[in-house]
């Protein structure tokens, strides 16, 4: 999709981070927007910024874990804008927990947003995008959809699932010669609030709130840079997008050491666990 002017893009998780930055960049390109987030203030702030570029922006509070709400939103987007060309399934949450200590409630909470939210957004908008005659679906996975990491089993499960779901969808659309295309995005560490707002199930020596939030300090890429390459990927019809030098490095390590990379992560986790276990409770 070379020309974004006067197209219509729907974006989940538009209240902050990658969602907000991508919305602003698309607005600069003359793309009209339908924005949603659970953070009502955040998504309204994004909308106000985008309207400065003279585009139509509709906004609402939405929980992507609700299939009915996502389908109702897709119908409203078409009613409000006349059509829709792009859906960016960006909304996501984080959970730090070992498999043993993780509650089913937390596991289901994350999967309902990070995986099922992507499925609902894709299936609700796909027929409308086909009707528009030209369009693109962007599903946000993660580098944790390429490698597994201790204490991130739920996040890994969701992001690996997004990868498989998205790649299969692209293949199906190409088989039928559809004018709709798909990109699977694997961001590395992006300077957003996801780690700060993560749910954490503390396990001595493995998971604690402070270390989960400190992890964010190592994030390398700004949301604005992520948005720039996402919009470029839409224009160039990329199958897969790695965001950040860390994502490129992780992808390379996984390719070169498809199972041995796990030994590196285990060694690092054991070293950290040993230090933490020696600390007073």
Calculate the dihedral angle through the C-alpha atoms of 247, 253, 258, 261, rounding to the nearest 10 degrees: -100
Residue 67 CB partners (closer than 8 Å, separation 6+): 116, 120
Rounded Cα–Cα distance for residues 175 and 171 (Å): 6
Neighbours of 7 (CB within 10 A): 23
Tokens of 38: 């659970």
Q: How far is CA 216 from CA 25, 56, 242, in A?
A: 24, 34, 18
Rounded Cα–Cα distance for residues 94 and 104 (Å): 15
Cβ–Cβ under 8 Å, residues 139 and 122: yes
Tokens of 74: 């897709």
Nearest to residue 83, comparing CAs of 45, 128, 30? 128
Active-site pick, 53, 120, 155, 261: 155
3-state secondary structure of 101: coil
State residue 196 phi and psi, 5-degree precision.
-65, -35
155 is catalytic: yes
Rounded Cα–Cα distance for residues 183 and 122 (Å): 12
Tokens of 131: 């009707």
198 torsion bin: left (phi>0), alpha (psi -120 to 50), beta (else): beta
Rounded Cα–Cα distance for residues 153 and 146 (Å): 12
Active-site residue list: 155
């Amino acid at each position: 999709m070379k020309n974004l002017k006067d197209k219509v893009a729907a974006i989940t998780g538009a209240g902050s981070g990658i969602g907000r930055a991508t919305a602003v960049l698309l607005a600069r390109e003359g793309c009209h927007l339908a924005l949603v987030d659970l953070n009502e203030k955040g998504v309204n702030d994004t909308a106000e910024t985008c309207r400065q570029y003279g585009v139509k922006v509709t906004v609402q509070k939405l929980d992507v874990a609700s299939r009915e709400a996502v389908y109702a939103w897709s119908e409203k987007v078409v009613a409000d804008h006349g059509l829709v060309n792009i859906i960016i399934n960006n909304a996501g949450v984080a959970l730090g927990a070992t498999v043993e200590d993780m509650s089913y409630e937390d596991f289901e909470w994350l999967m309902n947003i990070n995986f099922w939210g992507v499925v609902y957004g894709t299936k609700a908008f796909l027929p409308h995008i086909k009707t528009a005659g030209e369009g693109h679906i962007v599903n946000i996975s993660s580098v944790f959809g390429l490698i597994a990491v201790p204490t991130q089993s739920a996040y890994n499960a969701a992001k690996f699932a997004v990868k498989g779901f998205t790649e299969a969808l692209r293949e199906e659309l190409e088989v039928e010669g559809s004018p709709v295309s798909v990109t699977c995005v694997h961001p590395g560490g992006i300077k957003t609030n996801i780690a700060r707002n993560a749910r954490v199930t503390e396990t001595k020596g493995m998971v604690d709130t402070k270390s989960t939030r400190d992890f964010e300090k190592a994030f390398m890429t700004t949301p604005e840079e992520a948005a720039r390459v996402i919009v470029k990927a839409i224009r160039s019809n990329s199958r897969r997008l790695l965001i950040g030098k860390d994502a490129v490095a992780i992808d390379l390590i996984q390719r070169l050491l498809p199972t041995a990379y796990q030994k590196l992560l285990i060694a690092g986790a054991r070293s950290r666990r040993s230090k933490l276990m020696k600390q007073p409770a």
